[in-house]
């Protein structure tokens, strides 16, 4: 299981944004801040398969990386940090694509209710990957259209948020590509 005990997430409680423990946020289904990143190489997107030790949705394929910002952390800085921490990716500029909100059951009695800042980053030639095995068990590049078809055909292989992004927000996220 990944270490989450002391990590605090910016969440809304009684209409105020306050720091709440990461696991408590998901147990209570609290609305909270999040960041998602898609690294693109033309029409191809870099995916990761979540490590089996993750506390929810282990082994499922998802976008390049995602996380919750620290209490006083800028969303773009958070996106850049997690690219480095999860995949060893450095030197990419992240560009804000959209802010979305979704709510999804992620299993084991946990709920994601995220206000998520979505970022796109363009892959550079020879992009080096060094996935953290505690976070990522595999990576793959997928054509965006083929990915959307695969997610629709075999949704159980993918995280709930990736399914939502592609089914409900694809044009908002990827419309400029």
Answer whether residue 89 is part of any domain: yes
CATH number at residue 113: 3.90.79.10
Q: pTM value?
A: 0.93
Question: For residue 177, what pLDDT is reported?
Answer: 64
Answer whether residue 3 is part of any domain: no
Q: Which pLDDT tens digit goes with each residue over 75-110? A: 999 999 999 999 999 999 999 999 999 999 999 899
Q: Which pLDDT tens digit goes with each residue over 122-174? A: 998 889 999 999 999 999 999 999 999 999 999 999 999 999 999 999 999 99
**Structural domain boundaries enclosing 110:** 8-174
Q: Which pLDDT tens digit goes with each residue over 21-30? A: 999 999 999 9
- Kindly tell me if the per-residue pLDDT of 33 is higher than 70: yes
Both structure tokens of 171 = 């044009």
Distance CA 83, CA 94 (A): 10
Q: Is 65 marked active-site? A: no
Beta carbons of 61 and 51 less than 8 angstroms apart: no
- CA nearest to 59, candidates 128, 147, 159: 159
Choose, from 78, 86, 112, 114, the residue flagged as catalytic. 114
Choose, from 66, 78, 112, 135, the residue flagged as catalytic. 66
Number of domains in the chain: 1
Q: Is 66 marked active-site? A: yes
- Kindly tell me if the per-residue pLDDT of 38 is higher than 70: yes
Answer whether residue 72 is part of any domain: yes
Answer whether residue 2 is part of any domain: no
Give the orientation angle of helix 144-153 with respect to helix 160-168, to 10 degrees.
120
């Amino acid at each position: 299981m990944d270490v989450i005990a002391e990590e605090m997430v910016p969440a809304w409680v009684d209409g105020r944004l306050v720091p709440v423990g990461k696991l408590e946020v998901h147990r209570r289904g609290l609305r909270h801040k999040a960041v998602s990143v898609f690294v693109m190489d033309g029409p191809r997107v870099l995916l990761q398969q979540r490590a089996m030790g993750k506390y929810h949705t282990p082994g499922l394929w998802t976008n390049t990386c995602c996380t919750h910002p620290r209490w006083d952390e800028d969303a773009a800085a958070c996106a850049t940090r997690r690219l480095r921490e999860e995949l060893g990716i450095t030197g990419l500029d992240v560009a804000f694509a959209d802010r979305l909100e979704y709510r999804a059951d992620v299993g084991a009695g946990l709920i994601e209710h995220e206000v998520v800042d979505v970022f796109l980053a363009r892959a550079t030639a020879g992009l080096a990957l060094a996935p953290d095995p505690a976070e990522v068990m595999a990576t793959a590049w997928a054509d965006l259209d083929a990915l959307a078809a695969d997610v629709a055909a075999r949704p159980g292989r993918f995280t709930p948020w990736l399914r939502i992004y592609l089914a409900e927000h694809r044009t908002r996220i990827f419309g400029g590509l």
